[in-house]
Amino acid sequence: WDHINRKDEL
């Protein structure tokens, strides 16, 4: 599962 932990959400 392609998991990217990007914090671009509020």
Which residue is listed with tokens 């990217």? 4
Catalog residues that contact another protein under the rule CB under 8 A: 1-10
Per-residue burial over 1-10, b if 16 or more Cβ lie within 10 Å, else e, is eeeeeeeeee
CB of 1 vs another protein, minimal distance in Å: 7
Please report how close the Cβ of residue 9 comes to another protein at its closest, in angstroms. 7
Let me know how many helices (H) and strands (E) the chain has, helices first. 0, 0
Min dist CB 6 to another protein, Å, is 6
